[in-house]
Copies of this chain bind each other. A is one copy, B any other.
Amino acid sequence: MMKPLFEYNWLVREEWFDALEGLTLEELNRSRTGGVGTIRKTFFHIMDVEYSWIRACMGLHDDVLTIDDYPDLASLRELSLKLRQEIIEYLDKLEKKSKDTIILPSWLAGESYTLDEVIPHILVHEIHHIGQLSVWAKDIPVKVVSANFIGRGLGSASNNSSHMPI
């Protein structure tokens, strides 16, 4: 049941890239209340954390990303699409893995978690930061992206997309 939630995060992320397209670099880097402090840092942080944990789940060392390599929305979006391929391949194999599989992240000395903790953690992490982005977006202002899971054709097929306060 977890893969549709990854797909949800990626869809919402793409819609935010669309919504914020044309934003000036000043707005992208403007210091904002809460979270990691800027829109640019938020996108980078979401992807960095997702990728680091997926690498840890794969039993690989952390492939450290550097924010300076992603100065604008276009480069952030490109990074997002690039990382996704590797993550999708891994998720497709994940179903067969025991949930008790121990994960030892290379960047956390001696700390271990199970797959059953790490996968929900990755998912919750992005949704939380996107919630913060939705407040900042109102201040810019840009049109806020829907946070609905329903109506996106994820999980099973729905017969429509809802316009209700759900």
Contact B34 A150 (CB under 8 A): no
Stretch with Cβ within 8 A of B (4 or more), from A13-21, A65-73, A75-83, A108-116: A108-116
CB-based nearest B residue for A159? B112
A105: B residues at CB distance < 8 A: 166
Copies of this chain:
2
Q: Is A63 located at the chain interface by the 8 A CB criterion?
A: no
Interface residue ranges, A against B (CB under 8 Å): 1-2, 4-5, 8, 32-35, 49, 53, 99-100, 105, 107-108, 111-114, 116-121, 123-125, 127-139, 144, 147-150, 154-160, 162, 164, 166
Contact B34 A156 (CB under 8 A): no
A111: B residues at CB distance < 8 A: 158-160, 162, 164
A34: B residues at CB distance < 8 A: 134-139, 144
User: Contacts A34-B134, A35-B135, A136-B135 known; A121 to B149 CB distance under 8 Å?
Assistant: yes
A33: B residues at CB distance < 8 A: 135, 138-139
Given contacts A4-B116, A33-B138, A132-B135, 4 further A-B contacts (CB under 8 A): A8-B124, A105-B166, A108-B162, A125-B166
Contact A156 B120 (CB under 8 A): no
Contact B49 A166 (CB under 8 A): yes
Give Cα distance in the complex from A35 to B138, angstroms: 9
Chain B: minimal CB distance from A128 (Å):
4
Give Cα distance in the complex from A20 to B128, angstroms: 18
Chain B: minimal CB distance from A25 (Å):
22
